[in-house]
Each structure stands twice: as structure tokens, then as C-alpha cells.
Amino acid sequence: MRRHLSLLIGSLVLGLAVLIAPSASWAYPFWAQQNYDSPREATGKIVCANCHLAQKLTQAEVPQAVLPDSVFKASVKVPYQNDLKEIGADGSEVPLQVGAVVMLPDGFTLAPQDRWTDEIKEETEGVFFSQYSDEQPNILLVGPIPGDQHQEIVFPVLSPDPNKDSNIHFGKYQIHVGGNRGRGQVYPTGEKSNNTIFTAPASGTISSIEDGENGASVITIDTNDGETATETVPVGPVLLVKTGDSIEAGTPLTDDPNVGGFGQVDAEVVLQNPVRIYGLLAFFAAVAIAQIMLVLKKKQFEKVQAAEGF
């Protein structure tokens, strides 16, 4: 009897844990990054695109090559018109915020501040960098931060030294970059935010539009099959319909207030072996000296010919 009671209690506890515990939201990696093993899916898509649905231009600038154990800048540009305003969670107009994720190759990390130059310190003023996780210090996050001041985000990066780590090798590496401006269209729970367009869930006639909680509008639709469907539109989007309108499923009920978006881009950087550079410089010097010697030898030969009367 006690055994059966223990099993019953254990099952109830397990069931409650499954229902109550948070699940993977597949959105907002800056806020819920613990739900992802990596911010880049197997398809190559960075997961920010799961909730920031609009596509926008993102640019990345990195050096063509870097030396081991050196600090360089990875720049992420998230351009947009400076006068743009978006809908905040309370429905008011607010300035856009920006953010960026930089997936560096293994071994590359955020440079320690004592190695930042004065130029880097000036360019990163007001920017806070965080690692994606303790196990992945090569993935760096920034944001959200005011977009009007940070449409270009500079990441100070420290390159690894293969002479100190046998797992690192000289060669070409890929860097994956994502840049976002503005709020997302999906919440971590999978629900729409107020920064997106709302559409009719069914065909029919709008029977009523009532006020809901926190400024929301509850739209009731008498469907063509005699049922009733409702759609709650949060404060922010502008309604495009009125009571008595006949609509089809998928018809926009509101405008689309979103002015932001997300974009991603790949870049390449070469971890250069200094010995190869020294060898290349020595080769160039040898070629230059050989050319000079040939010219001098030609001049000498011409003088000898002139002296012999040829």
C-alpha cells in the first residue's frame, strides 16, 4: 500500500514538474538563451529570426588576417533610419533598440579589457558584452541597447595562439554574425507581440469589437458555419475593420506596426602564422635584391661594351 502511494505521489510530482517547468521557447535568445545549445541551427539560421520575422540588412567587418594572441575588431552594423519609432509593449512609441550576436571560431574570445586600445574603449562605450554560455565563450552577445547611438557595434576579439593550444591551427575560419533592430513579433510563449499584424482566424462577419484588458480590443467573428471566433488585439496596432464587416480567414485586422527586423551574415578571418609572413617578406627582399643586382650587372656590361668599342 505504501509503495503504491509513493508511486502515486511521485507521478503527481513529475506531472506537475512537466506542466510547470519552462519549456524551450524558440525565441528571444538574448532573454532565453539557456534554451539553446547553440544560437545557430543546423540549417545555418540564427535563432533570432524565429521571433524577429522581418528581414533587414546586417553588415560585418573583420580583418582579412590576424596574428596569434592579438586583439582585433569585429564590427557589426545594424543600419536603420534614425527617426524611426516603434510600438512599445504598452502601445506607446519608443526608440528602436539594437542587438547583435557574433559566433567566433573555437578559441577566439572577447579580449580582456586591459588589452583594449583607447580607440576600442571609445567605440565600445555604453556597450555590455556577455558570453552565450560558460561553455561557449566564443559566442558573444550585445543588447538590447539604444539603436540611435549604436548602429555599429564593435566587438574586441582576442585571437588564440596555436603554439599554446594544440587544438587550434593556423588557417581560415568562419564567423557567423546576426544583427537586430526593434522588438520581435513573437513572445517566448509563442504568442504574438503587439509589434505585428493580426489577421482574422476565420471567415464570417464581425459581430462586435469590445475593450479588453490593458487597452486590448476583443474582436468577435460570427463564422460562416454558425460558430463564434474571437481574436484579441493588444494595444498598439491600428484596427482596420469595424463591426459588421464581412471578412475572409487571413484578412488583416490591423496594420503592421513593425519597422525593425533581423539579418545575418557570414565573414571569414585567417589566423596567420607569423613564420609565413617572415618567409614572405624574406622572399620579397630576395627578389628585390636580385632585380637590383641584375640591373647593376646590365649597367656594368653596357660600360664594358662601350669601353671595348662595340
pLDDT digits (tens, 9 = 90+) for 12-63: 433 433 333 333 333 344 554 556 778 899 899 998 888 899 999 999 999 9
Return the half-sphere exposure (C-beta side, CA atoms, 13 A cut-off) of residue 151: 12
Q: What is the mean pLDDT of residues 193-197?
A: 94
CB 139 within 8 A of CB 187: no
> What is the spatial distance between Cα 33 and Cα 175, in angstroms, rounded to a whole number?
19
CB 262 within 8 A of CB 56: yes
Write down the residue that cell numbers 519597422 correspond to.
259
Higher pLDDT, 194 or 5: 194
Q: Hey, what's the cell of 107?
A: 578559441
pLDDT of residue 290: 86
The answer, yes or no, to whether residue 1 has pLDDT greater than 70, is no
pTM of full prediction above 0.95: no
CB 206 within 8 A of CB 244: yes
